[in-house]
């Protein structure tokens, strides 16, 4: 039987996803403004170090938010591909998956708006943080790169949540995000999160590559879920908003 508390849980979790995604996008765009804007104080640093700063900002924000009360409330997905994976793995209902995605996209727009207020013309100088393929990297290379990095992230997450109460999950995921951004930030873009890209693309009006950065992580979620189902591996043991009708198990 559901209690009044459980009926109140999903809306609070949805709001947590909005807040967390807004903070994630704000952190990413702040790091981009500081490192990539011509007037930014770190613009003279070598590109590898500048990309590493962005990776620390994004990965660190994900990790810290995940251990915060709002992050614990929602599970800190902050990424529609993560939510889709959890739905396909049977631990998130359709209703909550859709609500999470809407909250994440709305949070992305909010994060860009706050970044504009904080950084002014620096944000215009970096096109609101829109992610694009690196020089010489074509459409096919970007699709492969973003799908591969998304798949790595989702498989690591799947392995972690298959363990009972994996308290290291936020820090491992944050470190994986950092490494993936450093490795692919100057080539395929290092996004692997449609919510990270949604606000910048929508508010800048530049949609040339939006479909790639939207499609690739979602395809990776389908591949990860399908592969794990066929292999019968890493059944989720810890999750948030576990839906009994979907066979949800455990709550961290």
The domains of the chain are located at: 7-241
CATH domain 7-241 topology: Glycerol uptake facilitator protein (1.20.1080)
> Measured between alpha carbons, how far is residue 121 from residues 23, 47, 201, 216, 251 in Å?
20, 21, 17, 31, 44
For residue 206, the model assigns a pLDDT of 85
What are the tens digits of pLDDT across the range 211-230?
A: 999 999 999 999 999 999 99
- What's the token pair of residue 60? 């660190």
pLDDT class of 3 with cuts at 50, 70, 90: very low
pLDDT at site 247: 40
Give pLDDT, residue 7: 53
What is the pLDDT at residue 6?
Answer: 45
Return d(Cα 136, Cα 52) in angstroms, integer: 21
User: Would the pLDDT of 239 be above 90?
Assistant: no
Band (197; pLDDT cuts 50, 70, 90)? very high
Structural contact between residues 98 and 243, judged by C-beta atoms closer than 8 angstroms: no
Q: What confidence tens digit (pLDDT) does each residue in 137-153 have? A: 999 999 999 999 999 99
Q: Measure CA of the first residue to CA of the last residue in the chain; give whole Å.
A: 20
Give the residue carrying structure tokens 């989702």: 154
């Amino acid at each position: 039987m559901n209690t009044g508390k459980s009926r109140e849980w999903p809306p609070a979790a949805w709001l947590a996803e909005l807040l967390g995604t807004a903070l994630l996008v704000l952190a990413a765009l702040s790091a981009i403004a500081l490192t990539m804007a011509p007037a930014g104080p770190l613009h003279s640093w070598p590109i590898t170090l500048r990309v590493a700063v962005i990776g620390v900002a994004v990965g660190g924000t994900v990790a810290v938010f995940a251990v915060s009360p709002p992050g614990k409330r929602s599970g800190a997905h902050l990424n529609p591909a993560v939510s889709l994976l959890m739905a396909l793995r049977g631990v998130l209902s359709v209703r909550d998956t859709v609500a999470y995605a809407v909250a994440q996209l709305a949070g992305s727009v909010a994060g860009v708006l706050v970044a504009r207020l904080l950084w002014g013309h620096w944000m215009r100088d970096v096109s609101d943080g829109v992610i694009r393929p690196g020089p010489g990297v074509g459409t096919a290379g970007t699709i492969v790169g973003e799908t591969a990095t998304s798949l790595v992230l989702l498989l690591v997450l799947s392995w972690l949540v298959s363990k009972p109460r994996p308290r290291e999950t936020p820090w491992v995921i944050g470190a994986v995000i950092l490494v993936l951004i450093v490795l692919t930030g100057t080539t395929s873009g290092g996004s692997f999160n449609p919510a990270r890209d949604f606000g910048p693309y929508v508010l800048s009006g530049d949609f040339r590559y939006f479909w790639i950065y939207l499609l690739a992580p979602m395809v990776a979620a389908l591949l990860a879920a399908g592969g794990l189902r066929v292999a019968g591996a890493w059944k989720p043991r810890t999750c948030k908003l576990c839906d009994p009708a979907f066979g949800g198990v455990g709550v961290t």
